[in-house]
Amino acid sequence: MRILVVEDERRLAQNISRALREDCSYAVDVASNGADGLFLAGSSEYDLIVLDLMLPKIDGATLLRRHRQSGKRTPVLVLTARDEKESVVALLNAGADDYLTKPFDLGELLARVKALIRRGKGHATPVLKVGDLEVNTIEKSVRRGGARVELSPMEYRVLEYLAHRPRAVVSKSELLEHLYDFNWEKFSNVLEVYVSGLRKKLGHEAHPLIHTVRGQGYVLRDGV
């Protein structure tokens, strides 16, 4: 998963992005003003945007409105120092999906981020199921046929992304886009290494889960 944090308070942005990286192993980009935020939100595929309201250059509410006007459906979690009803109502009406008032609880922020991503991809529960495969996005644990499968963090991220979109073909570039932030070089052959590792660890050669669609990408599905 890849998250955009738009927050001008350098320290706050640092803490949020670090928590998202450490706890959820998400890829995180940080924009320190509204203009950069709007540019990044429009140019890359993000699974969620954490948006501060008071921003230099373009304020958060305007950014949110413009982002929605451009047809983007990325879930947006707003951070605000105000908690008056009217401003919250206006925010939700402008297209925000959820909000947190400062000072917020970092644990709550992480839980809301996960819930928003899950719901944004059409899942109501944190446990994603494909055939006999179970991906628990809270514990970040994977079971196949009830048996626990140990994965490396990167392997887990690849599997979680695929599990969010079962039966859909996910291109390599899409996977890369959602797995890495701008600080990482993107090498598609690295991806192939993770996928082959995943296949090995998930086992059951007779019933593979991750299939390669030649020239298009990967698909996670039960059966052929």
Partner 1 sequence: MRGPSLQRRLMAVVLLSVTALTAGLLLAGRFYIHRQLLRGLDDSLEGRAMSVAALVRYPEDGSTDLVFERGLLPASLDPRGRDKYQVIGPNGQVLEQSKDWPKDWNFATSSSRRSQYAWLENEQYRTACLRNVPILDEETGIPVSAKQLLTVSYATSTEGIGRQLTTLTAEIAASGLVLLIMSGLIVLLGIRHSLRPLRDLAEQAGAVSPRNWSFAAPESARSVAELQPLIASIDTMLGGLQRAFDQQRDFLASAAHELKTPVAIQKSSLQLLIHKPRTADEYRSGLRQCLTDTERLEDLLQRLLRLARADQWAQGAANRDLTPQLLSASCEASVARFRDWATTRGVALNLVTNGDLRVLADADDLELIWGNLLENAIRYSPSGKSVTVTIAHESQAALVSVADEGCGIGAEELPRIFERFYRGDPSRSRETGGVGLGLAIVKTLVEAYGGSTTVSSEPDVGTTFVVRLPAISG
Cβ of residue 143: shortest distance to partner 1, in angstroms?
Answer: 23
Q: How far is the CB of 18 from partner 1 (least distance, A)?
A: 6
Instruction: Kindly provide the b/e burial profile for residues 83-97, where b requires at least 16 CB atoms within 10 angstroms of the residue's own CB.
Output: eeeebbeebeebbbb
Our finding on whether 16 is near partner 1 (CB under 8 A) is yes
Binding of partner 1 by 24 (CB under 8 A): no
Pattern of binders to partner 1 over 85-104, x per CB under 8 A? ----------------xxxx
Among 37, 100, 91, residue whose Cα is nearest residue 67: 37
The conformational region for residue 202 under phi > 0 = left, psi -120 to 50 = alpha, else beta, is: alpha
Q: Which of 33, 44, 141, 212 binds partner 1 (CB under 8 A)?
A: 33
Nearer to partner 1, 73 or 82 (CB): 82
**Residue 71 interacting with partner 1 (CB under 8 A):** no
Which listed range, 28-36, 114-122, 178-186, 212-220, lies at the site for partner 1 (CB under 8 A)? 28-36
User: Which residues lie closer than 8 Å to 62 by C-beta, 6 or more apart?
Assistant: 34
How many alpha carbons lie under 13 Å from residue 170 in its C-beta half-sphere? 24
65 binds partner 1 (CB under 8 A): no
Size of the site for partner 1 (CB under 8 A): 28
What is the b/e burial string over 141-160, where b = at least 16 CB atoms within 10 angstroms of the residue's CB? ebebeeeebebeebbbbbbb
Rounded distance between C-alpha atoms, residue 181 and residue 142, angstroms: 24
Our finding on whether 81 is near partner 1 (CB under 8 A) is yes
66 vs 34, 81, 183, 200, 204, CA distance in Å? 11, 22, 26, 45, 48
Question: Whose Cβ is closer to partner 1: residue 65's or residue 204's?
Answer: 65
Q: Does 12 bind partner 1 (CB under 8 A)?
A: yes
**Binding region for partner 1 (CB under 8 A):** 8-12, 15-16, 18-19, 22-23, 32-34, 54-57, 59, 81-82, 101-107
